[in-house]
A and B are shown apart, each in its own frame.
Chain A
Amino acid sequence: MDRKLSLTSILGNKLINLFSISLLFILMGCSTSKPYTLGPIKTFDPDTSRIPEPQENESFQYWDRIDNTIFHQISKPLDLNNTVRVTGRILGISTKKQADNINHLDEVPESSWYNYRHFYSPMLIEEIARGPNTVSPDTSGLWTIFSAKLEGANPGFFIEDVNGNRFLIKFDGTNYPELATSADVIGSKIFHAAGYNVPEATITYFHPEKVIIADGVMVEENGEKRPMTQQDYNKIIKNRTTGNKGNIRALASKFVDGTPVGQWEFKGTRKDDPNDRVAHEHRREIRGMRVISSWLNDTDRRDANTMAVYTDEGYIKHLVQDFGNTLGANGGGIHEPIYGQAYLIDPRFMALNAVSLGLYVNYWETIDAQNYIPHPSVGYFRSETLNPGNWVSVHPLPAYENMTLRDAFWGAKQVMSFSDKEIAAIVKTGKLTSPLAEEYLTKVLIERRDKIGKHWFSRINPIDKFRAAVKNDSLVLSFSDLGIDGKFFNATDTKYEYSVWIEDGKHLIDNQNVLDPEIKISLSDNYFREKSPIVIGYKVITRRAEESISEKATLVYVFLEKNGPRVVGIER
């Protein structure tokens, strides 16, 4: 008996020790070195080195969904890095793992994935509305179909116009004219302005008789391949949305430059791309994309709706594509009320449903989407139902699951960078024929944007765009309060509490308040000049009149040197 007990004790001790050591490792891993750099700020991640052209990786419709829904969920607790970190979070001594590709200013450098656009350098409204587009299909001449897809949710074809430009042609569902095509165009414009690589997409109207089928075009039907016929073409264009003179409305998505080499995935790295070093689930721009997806109700975001292209320069560029399931559209139909609220298979709600014996009623069960469609061309797209903190895509995505508050803040900044007028200009490019539908869509997008801004800017200190300058012998740290810029909070109800210290930990100022987003330190004292170059740390807490607002601190580091001051580090 004693022997059994002692063995149990030893085993128990070992397990506890193993767990403790794991926790220690993780926590030590969490500790960071200096939160600032005295060198230049990293603004570009060099992942564009020339590599051998990789093989195209096949796109699969089922595996990524099954893997992320079932196997990835089982695998997560088996990764003790993750389990111990979760335990640490429960105990309040650890945080979620932050993204691996953020610089000292808590920003994403540019890369083959991401470009600095509207938030970083405001684009002209015309540039935003133009998006990635350089050319539209020429509808004056003949289009030649060189490939086609008869089956699936979205039958369509590929054409070459008289100028030799190639496009994918897709259509609206027959019951919802203009819906899918407008969503696709609007989604691509927003993602483009937010900094992502997207294919060119434009609404086009073509004459059905100005299309011919090239020789040798094969189609697949019931698992068998056969030559495409005129009847196949007629079937694809049957009952499609038409405009003037019987022209058919379609989405034309231009073939991207370079060679498509498949999709990219929301976790891991691509094995045959030596440039791909950051695990996708730990990329800030993909984690933060969840917020942009929540804005557009981009529910079908998954591996199959991405694209990797081997560029002429010899590296893989990463694109986000297929926005036909954004806004109120779900392919040829409309979004269901559950979309965005829960995963297609969601154990959280399933457990709740099971134990409640049916007494718990999920909110979306009570909604008949048809009662909330003011215009067929906008489908089911509402702002009242958006819960920014709980928004999910239809299938779990590891990168979205890993989103931290800082990632979300980054995403919310992108969303909030679009003004009302810019949103209206983007919506116009969807070419909805009903001005009322256009107005409704703009209104909902603005409302959803504001819900997102208010939600995330209430959970983190939303000060950003720090600038340091010397004015009148004072070091001035100015910043923007995105909560006030977004009109979520009143400037009169806001003050900024700050403390200032220098490298040896010496506190120069403790808990002072300013009403404007600007902190001044007098440099008249020779102390700074003697110490220069010197790093000055600021701790800024935004205090609002509203009690419910989170009051977390932001740490800002300014390097004061001969050439002047510059911001060298931000910690949120």
Chain B
Amino acid sequence: MIHHIKIHGLLKNYRWFIFIFSLWLVIGQTKAKGQSNSLNFTDSTQTLLSKSHPNTIPYSSDRTFVEHMLAFPSYVFEWATKPIDFGLKVTERKLPQLLQGERGPYGIFPLFELGGNTNFAYGFLAFHNEISKYHHELRLTGIFGSEDYNNFEFDYTIPKFLNEKGRFKIDAFYGNDPSISLFLGNNSNIKDRLLYSTEKVQSNLRYSQSFKKNIHFSATTGYYLLNIEPSIFDEETLSDATKGTPIPASLTGTASMLSAGTMITFDLAKGSPRINTGSRYSFGLNWQHSLDDNDHHFLEYTAEWNQFVPVFFLPNTRRLAFKGTLRKAESLAGSSIPFFEEPSLGGASDLRGFSTNRFRDTGSLLLTLEYRYPLWSFADIVLFMDEGQVFNHYSDITLKRFHTSYGGGLHFLSAKGFAFRGEYAFSNESSRLILSINHNF
């Protein structure tokens, strides 16, 4: 039976071949070519007498019918890319600043967010870096996924505030998120996930000042109002990976918080757009106090060390990058620390293979080691390993309690430095794709 079908198939192909070959002979070989192909010995006399001088017959690249057929897939592809061609040309003609990236004085970019609770969210980033003759900077960001998931951000920066190296920034934020995970402690089980939703309004004032080239100081004060409710998602509407139970009613309610903080960074790292060598040290303090009936009053301190070490026998674009981060919140005067302000691990910038906020306690310790090497001038390949744990007391910290995450990805660079990263991270619990415009370190 198979044999029969094969023979039949070949016979059909043979007919097809004859048909195409005939077509090729009839149509394909009749193409007009500037250079006459009919010259041969037998008609040489006629050719010499011909009135058609070759200089009067133009060359041509005409394709035969068969050649067109063979090129058809490429034609389809070219037609399919026409809208990109058209769009890019219109953009260059009408909105050339868009194609200059943030080099241009102003622009607007579309934003898309895939995945998460709403699967798809869209929005925009608009900026203007030359407002007034003092070159104030404005940035507006909006992301809309649904009525329950959206956020809007406004930043206004006054450069050269008070002095050449001073900057003053006002920012405001409104957003809500229908499902945030809460895990308590370093040994929490993935099945112990609690879920809550938030609606938040926040505003901050920030003054930053650089001293010399590598000492940066900032002071921030802010206020926010946060409303916490059980997640609107129930277990049935969530996937296995995000299933959880609503938080108890005792944890819901509204919090009104005032904060004030300061941070100082000693930036001894070198290289542009890639940071190749040197180190960076940051120390921060943040005080928060509730303005309502909640008795929240605490201080959080942060210390971070970044070290960049070139691989010794290779150009310094191949380097190891290390980050160590310690965060600890301490309650003041017997008050409490709200769970949503406790340090957590798991997310796009720390234990990357775990889900967001996977581990939470009053302290966190994170160690990250990355090997970065250039894919090309505008991109690095990054292989990384994260080790982290949360703790309540420093004495809780042990080697055994570290959680491990590892992965790799690409960091895209602009002339100014980091621009965008795409990473894939793994852990013993889960894996995740990270696409972010925020630098890790």
User: Which A residues fall within an 8 A CB radius of B?
Assistant: 2, 5-6, 9-10, 13-14, 17, 21-22, 25-26, 28-29, 32-34, 36-47, 58, 60-63, 66-67, 71, 74-76, 78-82, 84, 100-101, 103-104, 109, 222-223, 269, 275, 277-279, 282, 338, 345-346, 349-350, 353-354, 357-359, 361, 365-366, 503, 533, 535
**A78→B13 contact, CB < 8 A:** no
> Which residues of the partner chain A approach B99 to less than 8 Å between Cβ atoms?
61-62
**B35→A13 contact, CB < 8 A:** no
**B89→A346 contact, CB < 8 A:** no
B17 at interface (Cβ–Cβ under 8 A)? yes
* 21 cross-chain CB contacts under 8 A: A6-B2, A10-B5, A13-B9, A25-B24, A29-B28, A34-B37, A38-B44, A39-B54, A42-B57, A45-B34, A61-B99, A63-B89, A67-B85, A75-B74, A81-B67, A222-B130, A223-B97, A346-B376, A350-B375, A358-B371, A358-B373
> Which residues of the partner chain A approach B111 to less than 8 Å between Cβ atoms?
none
The 0/1 profile, CB within 8 Å of A marked 1, for residues 105-125 of chain B is 110000000000000000000
- Pick the contact of B2: A2, A84, A223 (CB < 8 A): A2
A78–B76 Cα gap in the complex (Å)?
Answer: 9
**B70→A80 contact, CB < 8 A:** yes
The 0/1 profile, CB within 8 Å of A marked 1, for residues 150-194 of chain B is 000000000000000000000000000000000000000000000
> Which residues of the partner chain A approach B36 to less than 8 Å between Cβ atoms?
37, 39
Tell me the number of A-to-B contacts counted with CB atoms below 8 Å.
187
**A71→B39 contact, CB < 8 A:** no
A413–B106 Cα gap in the complex (Å)?
Answer: 50
> Which residues of the partner chain B approach A37 to less than 8 Å between Cβ atoms?
35-36, 39, 47, 54
**A353→B376 contact, CB < 8 A:** yes
A111–B251 Cα gap in the complex (Å)?
Answer: 83
Nearest 6 CB-CB pairs, A to B?
A358-B373, A42-B54, A79-B74, A279-B61, A80-B70, A78-B74
Q: Which of B37, B44, B89, B375 has the most CB of A within 10 A?
A: B44
**B54→A40 contact, CB < 8 A:** yes
A533–B74 Cα gap in the complex (Å)?
Answer: 48
A9–B89 Cα gap in the complex (Å)?
Answer: 47
> Which residues of the partner chain A approach B78 to less than 8 Å between Cβ atoms?
71, 75
User: A20 → chain B, closest Cβ, in Å?
Assistant: 9
> Which residues of the partner chain B approach A279 to less than 8 Å between Cβ atoms?
61
Which B residues between 36 and 62 are near A, CB-CB below 8 angstroms?
A: 36-41, 44, 47-48, 50, 53-62
A28–B66 Cα gap in the complex (Å)?
Answer: 12
A177–B271 Cα gap in the complex (Å)?
Answer: 28
**B6→A13 contact, CB < 8 A:** yes
**A58→B89 contact, CB < 8 A:** yes
Which B residues between 186 and 243 are near A, CB-CB below 8 angstroms?
A: none
B77 at interface (Cβ–Cβ under 8 A)? yes
Task: Name the CB-closest residue of A to B315.
Answer: A365
A502–B89 Cα gap in the complex (Å)?
Answer: 58
> Which residues of the partner chain A approach B381 to less than 8 Å between Cβ atoms?
353-354, 358
**A80→B61 contact, CB < 8 A:** no
User: B4 → chain A, closest Cβ, in Å?
Assistant: 9
B437 at interface (Cβ–Cβ under 8 A)? no
The 0/1 profile, CB within 8 Å of A marked 1, for residues 79-100 of chain B is 0010011001100110011010
> Which residues of the partner chain A approach B415 to less than 8 Å between Cβ atoms?
none
> Which residues of the partner chain B approach A5 to less than 8 Å between Cβ atoms?
2
Task: Name the CB-closest residue of B to A71.
Answer: B81
Q: Which of B58, B71, B84, B377 has the most CB of A within 10 A?
A: B58
User: A460 → chain B, closest Cβ, in Å?
Assistant: 22
- Pick the contact of A78: B17, B77, B130, B373 (CB < 8 A): B77
**B71→A80 contact, CB < 8 A:** yes
User: B17 → chain A, closest Cβ, in Å?
Assistant: 6
> Which residues of the partner chain B approach A269 to less than 8 Å between Cβ atoms?
61
**B61→A277 contact, CB < 8 A:** yes
Q: Quick one: given A13-B13, A62-B99, are A6 and B55 in contact (CB under 8 Å)? A: no
> Which residues of the partner chain B approach A361 to less than 8 Å between Cβ atoms?
314-315
- Pick the contact of A349: B58, B73, B106, B376 (CB < 8 A): B376
**B61→A282 contact, CB < 8 A:** yes
- Could you list 5 further interchain pairs (A-B, Cβ under 8 angstroms) beyond the known A33-B37, A359-B314, A533-B44? A2-B2, A40-B54, A46-B56, A62-B92, A222-B130
- Pick the contact of A66: B44, B88, B373, B374 (CB < 8 A): B88
> Which residues of the partner chain B approach A79 to less than 8 Å between Cβ atoms?
70-71, 73-74
B311 at interface (Cβ–Cβ under 8 A)? yes
Task: Name the CB-closest residue of A to B32.
Answer: A277
**B105→A358 contact, CB < 8 A:** no
> Which residues of the partner chain A approach B85 to less than 8 Å between Cβ atoms?
63, 67
**A100→B60 contact, CB < 8 A:** yes
